Structure 1
Amino acid sequence: MIYGYARVSTTEQETTLQLDALRRSGVETILQEKRSSVGQRPKLMEMLESLEPGDMVKVYKIDRLARSLMDLLSILDRIQKAGATFQSLTEPVDTSTSAGRMMTHMLGAFAEFERGIIRERSIAGQTAAMMRGIHCGRPRSISPSDEQEIVRLWKSNQYTMDSLAALFNVHPSSVKRSIYRVLKPGHSSLR
């Protein structure tokens, strides 16, 4: 079976150009969506779940299929695991050919490089922010004064972490982190 997938970002846009090109290329079944690639894409998921060995997925352009390189590689992996192939009508990606598979591997290498660069930038930004005294990450769910009270109650041996979590209306993990934060190593063991 040859599947075609067409997508536009809004309901005001039309898929006519994509549909015409897909039909000319011999597509038997076309699934189309009028929605952003950021949210759920039920027609895409339906197509990916129905793929069988020997099937082919065609798109007019890669950006109609995936919102990012990582998303594309994930989708291509699902297609490959189903025993199907992929072809873009306007870009040199056709996993049924050696050159197309090579292009897919090159895309994977670029995606890994991109992830590394993003990670390095993120770490550098967080380090710079922390050096300026800015807290990175989620705000604490327990105030410093409540942390002190939690530790005081914990040390009384009359409360469990779960009972303290219920008392302060927080998750038990927050209680555990508070106790570890306040009780420096070597002070007291956690039970």
Structure 2
Amino acid sequence: MTIYGYARVSTKDQNLARQIKALNDAGCEQIFREKVTGTKRERPQLEALLETVKEGDVVIVKDLTRISRSTKDLIELVELFGKKGVGFKSLNESWLDTSKNDAVSKLMFTIFAGLVEFERNQLSERTLEGLAVAKANNKRIGRPSKDKANIEHAISLWENGRHNIKDICKITGVGKSTLYRKLKERGLK
């Protein structure tokens, strides 16, 4: 029997450290790590995990949102693990432990998986409502725009030809992609 862990974050900027520590503390012998949005069906490390596990193994995740995209997706994964004779546990959702393989665990899994999806949908609805209210009140949504004076300063430094892009960005605080976009808009790059 081998205990495997699966850790995932949605973006490359996010850190897996918290999940990895929890999985190590739970006794995972090998941890599959992934930096890809959960909404994508293609998750190479999850596929590798599914190919690796065998009867008697256990898969542990920090929480259900790390491995599943929806209740349906979670149920399909747990059924797949079950067909292979692999147990599945969630550290945050301690009620989920299919390695026990009893009726109560199966019932709890079905009920709480639905609740997890319900909570995720509620959060999404509240976010959309908040965005609609902000838009109706003419609030700007998204990242704050860069100071126009800094952008103009960056463009003038570029036109002078005495500084490279890296130095201009450091001097003005304007990001490289912003500067390139503004130069392109003005036909300077």
Short-chain TM bin: 0.5 to 0.7
Residues 31-81 of structure 1, C-alpha deviations (whole Å, 9 max, x = no match) = 010010122101001111221110000000000000110110111111111
Q: 1:63: which partner in 2?
A: 65
Whole-Å separation in 2 of the counterparts to 1:69 and 1:54: 24
Q: 1:96: which partner in 2?
A: 99
What secondary structure does 2:27 align onto?
Answer: coil
TM-score under structure 1 normalisation? 0.55
Say if 1:69 and 1:107, in contact at 8 Å, map to a contact too.
Answer: no
Q: 2:35: which partner in 1?
A: 34
Question: Aligned-pair distance for 1:101?
Answer: 2.4
Q: 1:16: which partner in 2?
A: 17
What percentage of aligned pairs have identical amino acids? 38
Matched, 1:106 2:111: yes
Q: 1:76: which partner in 2?
A: 78
Computing the radius of gyration from Cα coordinates, the structure with the larger value is 1
Question: Aligned-pair distance for 1:12?
Answer: 0.1
Whole-Å separation in 2 of the counterparts to 1:37 and 1:105: 20
Q: 2:87: which partner in 1?
A: 85
Whole-Å separation in 1 of the counterparts to 2:84 and 2:52: 9
Residues 141-188 of structure 1, C-alpha deviations (whole Å, 9 max, x = no match) = xxxxxxxxxxxxxxxxxxxxxxxxxxxxxxxxxxxxxxxxxxxxxxxx
Whole-Å separation in 2 of the counterparts to 1:102 and 1:96: 14
Whole-Å separation in 1 of the counterparts to 2:111 and 2:58: 21
Extract unaligned runs of 5+ from structure 1.
115-191
Say if 1:37 and 1:67, in contact at 8 Å, map to a contact too.
Answer: yes
**Aligned ranges 1:1-191 → 2 under 5 Å:** 1-39=2-40, 40-91=42-93, 92-97=95-100, 98=102, 99-107=104-112, 110=114
TM-score under structure 2 normalisation? 0.55
